Amino acid sequence: MHRTRPFQMIALFLIAFAGGCGQSNDKSSNAVQVQLNWYPESEHGGLYQALATGLYKDAGLEVTIQPGGRATPVGPELELGRAQFAIANADDVMIFRAQGLDVVAVLAAMQNHPRCLLARKDSGVETFDDLKGKTFQRQAGRAFVEFLRSKNILDGVQEVPYHGSIASLIADPEIVIQGYSCAEPLLAEQQGVEVNTLMVSDLGFNPYSSVLVTTGKLIREKPELVQQFVDATRTGWQQYLTDGVRGNEAILSVNEQGMTSEALQFGAEVMRDLAMPNDAAAESVGMMTDQRWQTLYDQLVDLELVAPSKVKAEECYTLQFLK
């Protein structure tokens, strides 16, 4: 179900649209287009809460949220000016910048990443050490997969492509799949299969998730607009994680991929702990730290997914709009 990031498509996308699509879709100075990295779900709840409750309108912004999908080129959409903001994961941001895209993170809704591996309870897989001999459906080349490989966790594991579905897991206890803890566990339960959820963050690889990103160009040219949008979105997340009824109603109205109220409620409950770990206050939602970004950067360099000659950690984010 989650989440294709087709980095290899970026160069082709930019070439294909270079002739004239670099113009912004803005029809007014306060028009904002937001590109999601997946179909509308609870991991985008703060944006839909802000839209549904009028937070963006109160800030003087005309906001349109563009759903994503399996092959959404988030970085190029920003680079070409077709969107002013987007949602990504922190590791995506660093890889985008290493590829020459001017993407900058300005807010991180999820402090802990929902990335997990799912195994049926009757599979015998209770920890990462139990994966040997199993078949693992994953997206090849993803940073978390390379991290698992670097820790020898995938030794003796057969790796096959992930097709965006839990169907294989339901059918075969020998199959383990990648997933998000705020979605797939419930889907499996609804089909009568109990699962063990192995959180990748427990191993020390924990990029920020549901990260709000924009471009360095917009930050330089329209810092007031960026501040307005960050403030409204941050408040939207704080509201959604407290009472996300309005946000979930908005998501249901636009999600055409079989989303249900039950799934959204489950996702919102899981994300409260991801966004506010250790009983953190709602006011902390969205915060980022230099240390977390530097740790991620060092990990991606060690994994040879980014080169120090291409990008520095401090170029990937700014804290100026979170004060």
More confident residue, 163 or 221: 221
What is the chain's percent helix, strand, coil content, to nearest 5?
45, 15, 40
Q: What is the rounded distance in angstroms from the CA atom of residue 278 to the CA atom of residue 206?
A: 15
**Local confidence band at 1 (pLDDT 50, 70, 90 cut-offs):** very low
Share of the chain above pLDDT 70, in %: 91
**66 sits in which H/E element:** strand 62-66
Residue 17: the pLDDT is 39
Residue 256: per-residue pLDDT = 87
pLDDT digits (tens, 9 = 90+) for 150-207: 999 999 999 999 988 999 999 999 999 999 999 999 999 999 999 999 999 999 999 9
For residue range 114-155, list pLDDT tens digits in order: 999 999 999 999 999 999 999 999 999 899 999 999 999 999
Q: What is the pLDDT of residues 258-290, one digit of tens each?
A: 889 999 999 999 999 999 999 999 999 999 999
Query: What is the radius of gyration, based on Cα positions, of the chain?
Result: 19
Angle at 92 between CA 87 and CA 76, to 5 degrees: 70
Q: Is the pLDDT of residue 5 over 50?
A: no
The answer, yes or no, to whether residue 313 has pLDDT greater than 80, is yes
How far apart CA 130 and CA 87 sit, in angstroms, is 34
Residue 20, pLDDT > 80, answer no
Above 70 in pLDDT, residue 230? yes
State the chain's mean pLDDT as an integer: 92
Percent of the chain whose pLDDT exceeds 90: 87
Q: Encoding tokens for residue 180? A: 């998000």
User: In the predicted model, what is the mean pLDDT of residues 242-266?
Assistant: 94
CA distance 73 to 196: 32
Is pLDDT at 249 greater than 80 in this prediction? yes
